[in-house]
Amino acid sequence: MTIPHRDKSDETRAPEVLALEALGWALVDERRAERLLSLTGLTPERLRHGIGERSVQAAILEFLANHEPDLISAADALGTTPEALIAAHRSLSA
């Protein structure tokens, strides 16, 4: 799966959009996907049925925030900044 690169100066994406994009990025790699489920406590079923919930979206971004290499890689792949992902996490956690 290829995620289109966006201009990093475009930080107008909603936190929910960034969370969904981050989930797509995380699930591309099987080991990362397994680590996401393990560390967040989410199950594939919970992801499918709860992806529209702020708490699930926040958990996805928290997963990235807690592992800087993934945070940086995800930001690069999504055409955003680590700071934007952290801000999105804070917004969804509020």
* Segment 28-81, tens digit of pLDDT: 999 999 999 999 999 999 999 999 999 999 999 999 999 999 999 999 999 999
3-state secondary structure of 81: coil
Q: Minimal CA–CA distance to 22: which of 8, 50, 82?
A: 82
pTM of the model: 0.86
